[in-house]
Each structure stands twice: as structure tokens, then as C-alpha cells.
Amino acid sequence: MTRVHIVGAGLAGLATAVALARHGVAASLYEAGPAAGGRCRSYFDRGLGRRIDNGNHLLLSGNHAAMTYLDTIGARRTMGGPGLARFPFVDVATGERWTIEPDPGRMPWWIFRRDRRVPGTNLRDYLSLLALRKAGADTTVAEALDPSGPLYKRLLEPLAVAALNTPPTAALARLLRTVMDNTLMKGGRACIPCLPREGLSESFIDPALAWLESRGGRLVTGCRVTALREENRRVIALETTDGEMPVGTGEAVVMAAPPWVADGLVPGLVAPDEFQAIVNLHFQIDADPGEAGFLGVLGGTAEWIFVKEGIVSVTISAANRIVDLSADELAQRVWPDVRTALRLEEPMPPVRVVKERRATFTATAAQEQRRPGPRWPAETSGAHNLVLAGDWTSTGLPATIEGAIRSGYAAADVILAGA
Ligand SMILES: Cc1cc2nc3c(=O)[nH]c(=O)nc-3n(C[C@H](O)[C@H](O)[C@H](O)COP(=O)(O)OP(=O)(O)OC[C@H]3O[C@@H](n4cnc5c(N)ncnc54)[C@H](O)[C@@H]3O)c2cc1C
């Protein structure tokens, strides 16, 4: 195969291109936005006069596809974090603080130690986690786990909301189980928090583009794909805002645009169609990053706080309930949580509120059923040389960096198998 054409240069599109390039197949990426990165990007914010990420992204060391991707593009060293599994929490309503520190190995000795487990929990509470194993195809997180206990309130609920970006009363327990199986259940070595030292683009996007370029990869930005032209069950051209891009005989196309775009471009596609927002607030202020560089927050509106030089960023997931509040209302609500959590005394500094209204698909049983596999077009009556990628395809994971990268690897496998 000479070249693959990829619609969308988010993580899924980039991971597809990286996996193909490792096998000597070059890709052209067509990106509608002004830069690559999609929902995982950094940009210069004029109001704050500095670069910020669209939203904080936390990756755990057990996310193997993401780690392989970073290794391949030579960017693992751009990731920082506490270097061991350490999760500090604060309850801003009560002032209580605690840190969870799973042991490195599989044996969870930490749950036997009162000073290292979640305050107020006992051993039996942790056994309740096994209930995730028995969760049925429709069981929600709140149904599978006991939502009344302190373990749920102080650890499982915050983790589930962060990983699934869906209220636990609706979120699919099986997706949480996969996340847990890849991380917490494998022990502390698999749940070391990894955070970009500088920014998302500096870790996940720019090094990938440089790596791809040196292997014949090509990125065209500001180029929106408006239609796929098909003939005899083959995509023969991409119609774009820059004109028509022919797809040569034996070449393939990867649809790596988000589902709300893909379903307009791929005839008959069934894809997730309900979404959840994530709201991030970036306060321009210096603060002590503490032991981990981030902090889980309970008892307020803020959920996770990340501290970098000159900037304190707050994430609120499953945020459909608050996304329509004005930026000012959100800042007024969240700043008191930040002050308490970080023990700050200053008045509210300049802030940028970033609302990603369709941050991820809603991780419910109904949406899960709408996730197609990479070969979906060929398996239905679609084009044989069209493959799907994206965090919304059926990766078995919720919409995450790991899911997006795995989907890209899966798409590349399909193409390489048919080459
Ligand atoms: C605020 C926020 C916080 C998050 N936090 C985390 C986290 O902590 N941990 C984690 O693992 N994950 C997190 N995620 C999820 C993660 O960012 C996504 O799962 C991942 O980035 C999705 O990548 P993707 O390539 O599938 O999709 P996208 O990033 O959406 O990429 C699709 C690309 O296609 C382009 N495109 C769209 N239409 C067209 C067109 N017609 N022609 C050409 N190009 C087109 C888009 O511009 C985009 O660049 C978060 C997401 C958000 C928004």
C-alpha cells in the first residue's frame, strides 16, 4: 500500500498514522481545525497571555497503548507526575485530607493499612469492588457498587466520573471494570499518574507530527472533509474544502473524525449520539503543586485540581448539569473550592473557562451498543477500503486517550492485514 488517507488528526488519527508508519506505510492527515490534536490539545490563550490545554488530561501508567505511542514518538520523557501511585484528596466541605497510595505490586497491602486506605473504610468495603466482575450488560456503576459507603463516595465515584465522564447512575459498570482491570486491579505500578510537563500538544501531538513527517507523513490543516466519493464499494476521493483528494487504487481511508461528523460522512453509520460536557477553569495564579501536582476534590463543584507553574486548572466532568452556566457564574462557584483546597488567600485571579460540550459520548449501555468496530463499513454494505477509528468506536474502553490510541492501532491492523 502506498498511502493511507486519514480524516481527522486527533489522537485516533495520529495513532493510526504512527502504527502504519512503523510498517513503512505513509499517511496523509486531513484536519478541519487550525492544528492537530482535536479534543486533546494545547493552544495560546490571548486573555491569559499563555498556552493552556483545552482540558486537563490524566493518564495512568497501566494504559499500555498510550505508553507505547509515547515511546514510539519519543515523547515519554515529556510526561511528569508524582512518579508513584499517589492520589491526594481533600473534602472542601469538611477540610479533611487524605492520600491513597496503592502498593506497586498486585497484592493490595494498602487496603489493610488504615493510614493508606480511604478514611472511614474497612476491608469489606474493598471486596465490594469484586461486584464489578458480575455486572451485567446493562448494569450501571451505581447499581454494581454500594453507593452508600465511604469507599464509593470518596474514591469509586470520583474515579468513575473522571474515567467515564457520565453520572454513575447511568454509566455502564463494564466500562469502569475495564479501566480498573488495566490500572488499580494490577497494583500501584499500573496506576502511576502521568501528566504532560508542558502541555498536551507538546507531549501527544507535536512529537507525533515531527516523527510522522520524517517518515513521509503529511498533515493538511484547515482542510474539512465534506464528503466521501464512492464507486463500486470503494472510496475513490475525499471532497474537502481544499478541493478533491483522489484515493488511489489499493489505498485506504480512515474515518477518524468525531461521531457527530462521521455519521454525516459515512452512509448508514450508527454511532454514539449522546454526549457529556467537561468544563475546565484555568486560574492564572501560582500555587504549591503539593505531593502529586494534582488533587481530587470532594464536597464542592471542583472535582480535580491540577497545578502548574503560574496556572491552577480545575476539571469538572459529567458536566451537562452546569455547562450552561455563564463563565462568571462557574468561576464564582469554583474559586472558593480552589482557595480551600490549595490554602490560598488571594482574591480570584484572571480565569479562562473552557467548555467542551461534546467532550465524550455518554458511557451508557444504550450508547455502548452504538459503537461500531473498525471494519464496520466493509461488514455492512459500505466501502471495503474505509476503516473507522476514534474513541467512540468499540474499544471496550470509555472515551479516553487510551481508547483513542487503541482504536488507531486497531484501524492500522485492519489496513495492514488487507495490504
Ligand atoms: C476536556 C477534556 C478532558 C479530557 N480528559 C481526559 C483524561 O483526563 N484522560 C483521558 O484519557 N481522556 C480524556 N479526555 C478524552 C480524550 O481527549 C479523547 O478521548 C481523545 O482525545 C479523542 O481522540 P479522537 O482522535 O478519537 O477524537 P478527536 O480528538 O475529536 O479528533 C477528531 C479530529 O477530527 C477533526 N475533524 C472533525 N471533522 C472533520 C472533518 N470533516 N474533516 C477533517 N477533520 C475533521 C477534529 O477537528 C479533530 O481534530 C478528555 C477530553 C476532553 C474534551
31 lines ligand 1 (CB under 6 A): yes
Q: Which pLDDT score is estimated for 93? A: 97
Whose alpha carbon is nearest atom 2 of ligand 1?
A: 55
Which atom in ligand 1 lies closest to the alpha carbon of residue 55?
Answer: 1
Say whether 66 sits in a helix, a strand or coil: helix
Provide CB contacts within 8 A for 311, sequence distance 6+. 48, 50, 52, 282, 283, 284, 285
Q: How far is the CA of 38 from the centre of ligand 1 (A)?
A: 4
Say whether 196 sits in a helix, a strand or coil: strand
The per-residue pLDDT for range 156-174, each reduced to its tens digit, is 999 999 999 999 999 999 9
Residues of the chain with pLDDT under 50: none
Query: Cβ(359)–Cβ(55) under 8 Å?
Result: yes
Beta strands in 176-316 (DSSP E): 193-196, 218-220, 225-231, 234-240, 243-246, 252-255, 275-283, 294-298, 304-308, 311-316
Residue 12 CA to residue 128 CA, distance in Å, equals 34
Cα of first residue to Cα of last residue in the chain, in angstroms, is: 6
Which grid cell is 390?
Answer: 476514534
Q: How far is the CA of 39 from the centre of ligand 1 (A)?
A: 3
313 lines ligand 1 (CB under 6 A): no
Query: Cβ(293)–Cβ(197) under 8 Å?
Result: no
Which atom in ligand 1 lies closest to the alpha carbon of residue 30?
Answer: 43
359 lines ligand 1 (CB under 6 A): yes
391 lines ligand 1 (CB under 6 A): yes
Q: What is the set of domains in the chain, with CATH numbers?
A: 3-34+221-272+364-418 (3.50.50.60), 44-82+194-199+275-361 (3.90.660.10), 103-190 (no CATH)
Q: Which pLDDT score is estimated for 1? A: 66
55 lines ligand 1 (CB under 6 A): yes
398 lines ligand 1 (CB under 6 A): no
- Which residue in 361, 375, 184, 350 sits closest to 269, CA to CA? 375
360 lines ligand 1 (CB under 6 A): yes
Q: How far is the CA of 185 from the centre of ligand 1 (A)?
A: 27
Whose alpha carbon is nearest atom 14 of ligand 1?
A: 400
400 lines ligand 1 (CB under 6 A): yes
- Which residue in 46, 40, 17, 159 sits closest to 100, CA to CA? 159
User: Residue 418: phi, psi to the nearest 5?
Assistant: -95, -5
90 lines ligand 1 (CB under 6 A): no
Whose alpha carbon is nearest atom 26 of ligand 1?
A: 390
